[in-house]
């Protein structure tokens, strides 16, 4: 079920079906929550996790949405809300010994970032 925005000054961006496990993505997303946009970009830029590239794309999209649609300055924005929901899981089979098989779950994520002006946050 989609989460609705309660505050009209909050701007959101979402990346769906990102090929990374939600558990791994949450480790990165939790680091940028309640930070300014500049701090969040710095954290993501120096993160050693591969999912940081995807999270940075979503953050850039949220900042761009705020600037284009609401006219907010990117310098004044704060990351208000971040969460990672679980997407569909692709199920694959790996052959094992004696003709048996084991299941491989390739998980996907839906990454959502919400930004707002500093005074509103």
% pLDDT > 70, the chain = 94
Each residue of 80-92: pLDDT tens digit? 999 999 999 999 9
Chain mean pLDDT for the chain: 92
pLDDT of 2 strictly over 70: no
Which pair of tokens denotes residue 96? 């094992």
Q: Which domains does the chain have, with CATH numbers?
A: 11-117 (3.90.470.10)
């Amino acid at each position: 079920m989609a989460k609705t925005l309660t505050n009209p000054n909050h701007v959101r961006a979402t990346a769906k079906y990102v090929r990374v496990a939600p558990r791994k993505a949450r480790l990165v997303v939790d680091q940028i929550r309640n930070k300014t946009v500049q701090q969040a970009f710095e954290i993501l830029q120096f993160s050693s996790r591969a999912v940081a590239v995807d999270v940075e794309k979503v953050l850039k999209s949220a900042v761009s949405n705020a600037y284009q649609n609401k006219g907010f300055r990117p310098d004044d924005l704060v990351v208000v809300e971040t969460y990672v929901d679980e997407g569909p899981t692709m199920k694959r089979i790996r052959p094992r010994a004696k003709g048996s098989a084991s299941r491989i779950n390739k998980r996907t994520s839906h990454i959502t970032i919400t930004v707002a002006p500093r005074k509103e946050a």
